[in-house]
């Protein structure tokens, strides 16, 4: 790793931490496309780039979302009652998503990622106009939603905030608390998804040095070195911004990421 790449990864981590605290996402929406661009410079084989990007992204989310959830917990932004039935499905889905990724040809994975993110952006934009919140669904339905969030998020290398924040907000959880709850769920989801990718990656011989399964340790350490310090600023900013403004920022960000990956 040269110094230029190291500096880029450190800046990436700073940005990821800010977004994690502000929007309740683990940062995978930024980390995955960034690593897809950078990993070839680390001699990662083209057919493994997307898998390594997904796995490394999930591993950074464990640290970033963990730090973000602690900051939101201090600010009173986590409602454990609202997410207790979401968590089991999220964990199971995180593992399942890593298995699904193994069966998708590597050249199609970036497009799968882009389509997932585009759907999330559209969902968030349409939810801005919804003023009447619903009550939380039954435990079974909530767990099924958690399973779907877990599978899709693990498949896209993200922490699930892009789906769990709209879900919680739509069912009566105030936006700031939805962001905090999402950070907590995202950390657990990332642990489950990363373990699945590590297991599959151990069976390969052509991954670069300093890899644990599909997880590339130099990129992981560089990103989390700065992200853990910037989550607090995002969390504080989230408490000051209006709910509608947070939703608009969230949706525009998703559209940008989706189109960049399509291209």
Residue range 34-52, pLDDT digits in tens: 888 888 888 888 888 989 9
Q: Are 223 and 31 within 8 A, CB to CB?
A: yes
- The model scores a pTM over 0.85: no
Gyration radius from the chain CA atoms = 17
Mean pLDDT of 76-96: 87
Structural domains of the chain, count: 1
User: Which stretch of DSSP H or E encloses residue 80?
Assistant: helix 80-83
For every residue of 209-249, DSSP letters joined together read TTEETTEEHHHHHHHHHHHHHHHHHHHHHHTTS-HHHHHHH
More confident site: 162 or 78: 78
Higher pLDDT, 54 or 160: 54
Please report the pLDDT score of residue 221 as a whole number.
92
Of all residues in the chain, what percent carry a pLDDT higher than 70?
90
Task: Report how far residue 16's alpha carbon sits from residue 105's, in angstroms, rounded to the nearest whole number.
Answer: 28
Q: How far apart are CA 218 and CA 200, in angstroms?
A: 19
Rounded to the nearest integer, the mean pLDDT of the chain is 82
Summarize the confidence of residues 95-99 as an average pLDDT.
87
Question: Per-residue pLDDT tens for 144-187?
Answer: 988 998 898 888 777 777 678 878 878 888 878 888 888 888 88
155 to each of 67, 93, 208, 218, 248, how far by Cα in Å? 23, 10, 22, 22, 25
176: domain range?
A: 3-262
CA separation, residue 130 to residues 166, 173, 184 (Å): 11, 13, 25
Q: How confident is the model at residue 1 (pLDDT cuts 50, 70, 90)?
A: low
Query: Which regions of the chain does DSSP assign to beta strands (E)?
Result: 211-212, 215-216
The encoded tokens of residue 16 equal: 């990821």
At 97 the pLDDT is: 87
């Amino acid at each position: 790793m040269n110094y230029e790449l190291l500096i880029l990864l450190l800046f990436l981590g700073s940005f990821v931490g800010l977004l994690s605290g502000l929007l309740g996402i683990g940062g995978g929406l930024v980390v995955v496309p960034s690593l897809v661009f950078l990993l070839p410079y680390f001699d990662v084989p083209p057919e493994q780039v997307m898998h390594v990007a997904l796995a490394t992204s999930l591993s950074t989310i464990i640290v970033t979302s963990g730090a973000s959830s602690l900051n939101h917990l201090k600010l009173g932004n986590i409602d454990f009652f609202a997410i207790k039935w979401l968590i089991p499905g999220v964990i199971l889905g995180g593992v399942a998503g890593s298995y699904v990724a193994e069966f998708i040809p590597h050249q199609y994975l970036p497009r799968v990622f882009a389509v997932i993110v585009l759907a999330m952006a559209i969902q968030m934009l349409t939810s801005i106009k919804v003023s009447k919140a619903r009550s939380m669904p039954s435990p079974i339905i909530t767990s099924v939603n958690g399973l779907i969030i877990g599978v899709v998020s693990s498949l896209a290398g993200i922490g699930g905030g892009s789906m769990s924040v709209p879900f919680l907000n739509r069912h009566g959880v105030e936006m700031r608390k939805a962001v905090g709850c999402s950070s907590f769920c995202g950390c657990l989801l990332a642990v489950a998804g990363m373990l699945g990718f590590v297991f599959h990656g151990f069976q390969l011989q052509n991954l670069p040095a300093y890899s644990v399964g599909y997880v590339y340790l130099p990129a992981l350490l560089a990103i989390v070195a700065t992200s853990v310090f910037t989550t607090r600023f995002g969390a504080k900013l989230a408490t000051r911004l209006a709910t509608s403004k947070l939703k608009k920022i969230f949706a525009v960000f998703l559209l940008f990421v989706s189109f960049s990956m399509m291209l």
